[in-house]
Structure 1
Amino acid sequence: MTAGPSELIDARIAALTDWRGEVLAQIRRLILEADPAVEEEWKWDKPVWSRSGIICTGEVYKKVVKTTFAKGAAVADPAHLFNSSLEGNTRRAIDFPEGAEINQEAFKELIRAAITLNLSRPAKTHTKGEVR
């Protein structure tokens, strides 16, 4: 039997025996607290959280745990959490280095804002052969 996305995320967190596993687990917990309808996926060999489209990914590097928001450039960030990938037109990210305090309420609001954006956009569907 193949492991599902949640089990793969569990395994990734368990394999990180330092601060990075704790941070990834905290990010995951906050995302699911922000909206229990969020779906966990496993794409590109990393955790992905979605609701009516991708919300964000959880990437682990040597010096940071990065949360990349797929449509972050279109999401209001009043607490100025985005601190990485600021130059692009679409994505925005938050790098969490060792010892960083996560502003939990602001992070959950960012998740909710990304979900609201996803829900406000009609699903991209088109029939075969249709020109767009």
Structure 2
Amino acid sequence: MAKKVASRKPAKPVLLSGGNPQIAKGDGDAPVQAYIAAMPDWKRGVGQQLDALITRTLPRVQKAVKWNSPFYGIAGHGYVISFHVFTRYVKVAFLQGAHMKPPPPGSSKDRNARYLDIHQGDVIDEKQFAAWVKQAAKLPGFLGPKG
């Protein structure tokens, strides 16, 4: 008698408030790609584009998922860019963006951080974005909590 094998569908990603994927923290490209794959709807394409632009601009970039967001950084220098899914947009954080020329348009409660909000249908200015990424890589990064 043939044994019936249950087919397992991949588990649906857990989406937190605003549709942000809940992905276990981890270092490397794999958790970042898992986060991007779990981004809902049109936001997944934005995540793919951001990841490709950052990786193309900084070929040695180090990636991680921390605090349910992908982070991009430079070895020994710290994280300089992250992004996060919200209900109506994807928010890109330049952790030292206030020190860039020109600074990204979104202000922050943190005097150093600046943001770029990407809404459905927005076209990312790849040249300007790459310039911000290059500048971010030269500024002090976030090394994480001490202790």
- The normalised TM-score by structure 1 is 0.78
Q: Does 1:72 align with 2:97?
A: yes
8 Å CA contact 2:27–2:63 kept in 1: the answer is no
Unpaired runs of 5+ in structure 2?
1-24
Q: Does 1:50 align with 2:73?
A: yes
8 Å CA contact 1:73–1:88 kept in 2: the answer is no
- Runs of 4 or more consecutive aligned structure 1 residues displaced over 6 Å after TM superposition: none
SS at match of 1:12: helix
**Offset at residue 86 of structure 1 (A):** 4.8
Provide the aligned C-alpha RMSD in A. Answer: 2.2
**Offset at residue 17 of structure 1 (A):** 4.1
User: What is the identity, as a one-letter code, of the residue corresponding to 1:112?
Assistant: K
Cross-structure match for 1:127: none
Write 1 or 2 for the structure with the bigger share of helix: 1
8 Å CA contact 1:8–1:42 kept in 2: the answer is yes
Instruction: Choose the corresponding residue for 1:105, options 113, 127, 137.
Output: 127
* Number of positions where the alignment pairs a residue of Structure 1 with one of Structure 2: 116
Cross-structure match for 1:117: 139
Cross-structure match for 2:20: none
Provide the identity percentage: 26
- The normalised TM-score by structure 2 is 0.71
